[in-house]
Structure 1
Amino acid sequence: MKTTHNIRTVEVVQYIKPLREGGSLPAIVKADDGYVYVLKFRGAGQGKKALIAELLGGEIARAIGLKVPELVFMNLDDSFSKTEPDEEIQDLLKFSVGLNLGLHFLTSAITFDPLVTTIDGLLASKVVLLDSLLSNIDRTAKNTNLLQWNNELWIIDNGASFYFHHNWETWRNHLTRTFPLIKDHVLLAQATHLPEASAQIKALLTKEKLTEIVALIPNDWLLNESDTMSPNEIRAAYMEYLEAKLAMIDSLVKEAEDAR
């Protein structure tokens, strides 16, 4: 049976604590489904665009067979800011009323350490190529954005991907660019099966699958005062970008192999 991609929507019922190690001050919260999530706020520094990158990056990673905590849309009402004593958090909650993004909280997960843990070469290659495709500048030894949970590698924090979308005036310039920053990728040394990973990614990321994922972006997140493009035009731009990157995946493989 064919299944349509779907993201659940939940209500935030309890603000538990901020995660101060994250630059954008995400928080641990509880939702009305009884589960605990890491909440990424629309009112944080990079705003709704970071949520879009998180959503697209996470679901593309999942589509190519990588482990990603469940992503949910999280409704935040204005009651939380009224009872929060910390002014910085109070402002963040106030500016984030509405639809935000949550990642299922993996209890007792630990940060991936490349010096301690060796990853399967094909798995490492998939993560490296994922980040090349997404232009993800934030998966380095300094900040791995990877977790070890139940002896498996989990992908988190894709919010620094698609950095071209912070300036729609020049986004087309990025369509033909490779990703030289892959030289700093935390898993590059372990990425020993790049051609095989590339073949799997091409087979899994069909136009239909990408269209399905891009369609998940809420209209509300595509409305920014500074943007001159309509939500549909922006969705089409993400599609064009992803298809362009997939079309040049052989160049991305060579770039990563040369960097290794």
Structure 2
Amino acid sequence: MRYSEPELRTVDVTRYVTPLREGGSLPAIVEADDDFLYVLKFRGAGQGVKALIAELISGEIARALGLRVPEIVFAILDPVMARTEPDEEIQDLLRASGGLNLALHYLSRAITFDALVNPVDPKLASQIVWLDCFITNVDRTARNTNMLIWHKELWLIDHGASLYFHHSGQNWEEQATKPFAAVKDHVLLSKASELETVDAEFRQILTPERIASIVALVPDEWLTHEGATESTQDQRLIYTRFLETRIAHSELFVKEAQNAKTLV
């Protein structure tokens, strides 16, 4: 799949359709001014804008690697929409999320991936396992696969739990060189037999320039959240260097995945 410089559209949310109760942060299906439906991720939800940052960076990394991810857009929400919502919890969420949010194109009539029903070839399984080790995505387990089958193809969704180093307050340099122990619970690990091949291919794709162009998509206002101590420039640099360092030491998480695979 040919890669192009990342660029996100911006839409205005015109209608709140229905909540998606599966997630703890209450994402919702909304309609936008382009007449498409989207799954909206709210800046006012539990993990705040950091979950949106992780969703944006990780989703666009996956797309750059040729994996299928629904289109990601910036979504502007007017908090006045809360006036017509009868549910008090949703009212509070809408009021807290006024302004710039993130949304993914809604894959109508998609079905949840089931490892026992939906076959995945070893190369694709290895690509997804490598991606999740790289972005430290803890949320691709048999219990919660965060994958959909749409038009007979596998699509990746919901990367808000990735890049969890930015929640911990720990040294990002130390976190960048750690193996990914959570890979032992990855739903596709048993099928990931081509990790070394994928590692060589993906290291060629994710150049420093490409990583920087993806991180540059993060809006300044998401980096000036309450509690931020670094400048927006410094925060972008941390994300960029974390990813560059992680890919420079990819043999660590590849080996961890291979070792975990022998125990599956």
Aligned residue number for residue 121 of structure 2: 120
Aligned residue number for residue 186 of structure 1: 187
Number of residues of Structure 1 aligned to a counterpart in Structure 2: 260
SS in 2 for 1:216: coil
Confirm whether residue 256 of structure 1 aligns to residue 249 of structure 2: no
Unaligned runs of 5+ in 1: none
SS in 2 for 1:192: coil
Query: Quick one: distance in 1 between partners of 2:249 and 2:177?
Result: 8
Query: Quick one: distance in 1 between partners of 2:215 and 2:258?
Result: 29
Question: What percent identity do the matched residue pairs reach?
Answer: 55
The Cα shift of 1:169 comes to 4.8
Aligned residue number for residue 212 of structure 1: 213
TM-score, length-scaled by structure 1: 0.97
Query: Quick one: distance in 1 between partners of 2:116 and 2:189?
Result: 13
Query: Quick one: distance in 2 between partners of 1:169 and 1:122?
Result: 34
Conservation of the 8 A alpha-carbon contact between 1:70 and 1:103? yes
CA deviation string 1:126-159 (max 9, x = no partner): 1101010111111100100000111111000000
SS in 2 for 1:213: helix
Aligned residue number for residue 149 of structure 2: 148
Conservation of the 8 A alpha-carbon contact between 1:112 and 1:147? yes
Q: How does 1:55-74 map to 2 (within 5 A)?
A: 55-74=56-75
SS in 2 for 1:13: strand
Aligned residue number for residue 24 of structure 1: 25
Query: Quick one: distance in 1 between partners of 2:36 and 2:22?
Result: 22
| Pair 1:161–1:3, CA change in 2 (3 A) | closer
CA deviation string 1:143-193 (max 9, x = no partner): 000001111110000000011101345333302211111000011011111
CA deviation string 1:5-52 (max 9, x = no partner): 210000000100000111110000000011100000000000000000
Q: What is the identity, as a one-letter code, of the residue corresponding to 1:24?
A: S
Aligned residue number for residue 93 of structure 2: 92
Q: What is the identity, as a one-letter code, of the residue corresponding to 1:200?
A: E
SS in 2 for 1:102: strand
Query: Quick one: distance in 2 between partners of 1:19 and 1:124?
Result: 27
SS in 1 for 2:16: strand
CA deviation string 1:199-225 (max 9, x = no partner): 111111111110110000000111122
The Cα shift of 1:3 comes to 4.8
SS in 1 for 2:171: helix
Q: What is the identity, as a one-letter code, of the residue corresponding to 1:113?
A: D
Query: Quick one: distance in 2 between partners of 1:167 and 1:23?
Result: 19
Q: What is the identity, as a one-letter code, of the residue corresponding to 1:47?
A: G
Query: Quick one: distance in 2 between partners of 1:9 and 1:23?
Result: 25
Query: Quick one: distance in 2 between partners of 1:168 and 1:221?
Result: 17
SS in 2 for 1:99: strand
Aligned residue number for residue 135 of structure 2: 134
Query: Quick one: distance in 2 between partners of 1:211 and 1:13?
Result: 32
Greater shift, 217-226 or 89-98, is seen at 217-226
Aligned residue number for residue 41 of structure 1: 42
SS in 1 for 2:159: coil
Query: Quick one: distance in 1 between partners of 2:43 and 2:209?
Result: 28
SS in 2 for 1:254: helix
Q: What is the identity, as a one-letter code, of the residue corresponding to 1:60?
A: I
Unaligned runs of 5+ in 2: none
Aligned residue number for residue 162 of structure 1: 163
SS in 1 for 2:104: strand
Aligned residue number for residue 234 of structure 1: 235
Aligned residue number for residue 177 of structure 1: 178
Query: Quick one: distance in 2 between partners of 1:236 and 1:14?
Result: 36
Aligned residue number for residue 16 of structure 2: 15
SS in 1 for 2:95: helix
Q: What is the identity, as a one-letter code, of the residue corresponding to 1:156?
A: I
Conservation of the 8 A alpha-carbon contact between 2:177 and 2:252? no
Conservation of the 8 A alpha-carbon contact between 2:6 and 2:60? no
Q: What is the identity, as a one-letter code, of the residue corresponding to 1:61?
A: A
